[in-house]
Structures are given as C-alpha cells and as structure tokens.
Chain A
Amino acid sequence: GAVVSQHPSWVICKSGTSVKIECRSLDFQATTMFWYRQFPKQSLMLMATSNEGSKATYEQGVEKDKFLINHASLTLSTLTVTSAHPEDSSFYICSADLGTGNYEQYFGPGTRLTVT
C-alpha cells in the first residue's frame, strides 16, 4: 500500500511555456503532500507543502507565482511551473504522508523537467 504516482515521468518544454506535474496517492487519501526539487547529485530541497482544500505554504525563497500548487482533492496535487526557464530544469519529486503522525513519507517516482 501507500503508493504515490507522478505524471509525467519526464517532460521537455520550451522557455516561456508552462508545465503541469501531477502527484497522486493511489491507495490512500493524503491531506498533505510535499513538493521537492532535486539537482543532480544533491539532496532534496523542500519547495512547498500542499494542503487539500487550502493554499499551499511555500518555503523561503520559492516563488509562489512561478510554482503554482493546487491540491483540489485528497488524492491529487499538481505543481505548475509557469513561464519556465532553463534554470527551472530539475528533478521534481512529490511525497505524501498518511497523516498518522509518524512522519513517514511516501514518495512519487519523480518528474525530470528539461527546459530548452
């Protein structure tokens, strides 16, 4: 159980366009999901916390107008990278916890974004 999927697994887009990444909890409901960004050979950097039915909370330094997060249902959170630039190229990973209070998170397989 506790499977999280992401779609797409990889995407190439042109500068100036927007890209939407979906994160779904397949067999459980997730009131809270997290979005991370990871550069090659580096650790995960938390971008924002996505809360079902309310606004996402963003980490310091993350532009909320650039990285739009929507958590419209208990099984789906989306991250939209708006007006993408080459420096937005990265590996984006989402995760969800079961809300049981044990802090264990279940991660999606990640989305590789390349902006040309």
Chain B
Amino acid sequence: SQQGEEDPQALSIQEGENATMNCSYKTSINNLQWYRQNSGRGLVHLILIRSNEREKHSGRLRVTLDTSKKSSSLLITASRAADTASYFCATDRDSWGKLQFGAGTQVVVTP
C-alpha cells in the first residue's frame, strides 16, 4: 500500500498563482523527496529534504517537512504553464534505497 497520501488529488490554477500540495506519511523516515512527472513520461527529481530539516528551497520550489505531523508540503510559486504535471512525494522505505510513492497531485496551470 502507498505510505504517502497526497492532497489535493488535482489542482487547477492560472499562471502566476501559487500551487500548494501536501503529503502525509505513516512511518518514520530518513528523508522525503518530491518528483514531477509530465504526462506519459518518467519522473524527474525535484527536491530532497532530510528528516532533520524543516524547510528547503530550490528556485520557485519550497518544501516543508513536519516530522511531528508526518507531513510535507510542496509550494510552487509564480506557476507557469510548463509546471503542468503530476507531483509525487516519496519516502524511503528501507536502507536499501526503496521508495514509497504517494498517490500524486495532478496540477494544471492554464495560461
């Protein structure tokens, strides 16, 4: 079963607006990652946040992690049409590199 649950399942916004999506997980983690998937393509790594970090930035992306609530959020600021994609959070399942993916949030950015 998927450890990560994401909400919302789908998000439709206009260019220039911010997009926020959340991810919750059930067990303790070493790190949490966010990936983007364009339709019919593989996944692209966006950002990794370690369990001892609370916030991380990368360009227009901001990720927060609250280990006490077992949740993370991904904020995309000043969204662009090119940000249209599905976004997945992933947590480490074990020490061998296995990842557990959330259900994903489908983001549509309209011009």
Which A residues are within 8 Å of any B CB, using their own CB?
4, 6, 32, 34, 41-44, 46, 49, 91, 93, 95, 97, 102-110, 112
Contact = CB atoms under 8 A, between A and B. Distances in A.
A104 B33 contact: yes
Chain B contact residues: over half helix, strand or loop, or mixed? strand
Contacts, number: 60
Interface of B: 2, 30-31, 33, 35, 40-45, 48, 88, 92, 96-104, 106
Given A44-B88, A103-B31, A103-B92, A110 B101 contact: no
Nearest to B2: A43
B2 to A, nearest CB: 6
A26 B54 CA distance: 34
Given A44-B88, A105-B45, A32 B97 contact: yes
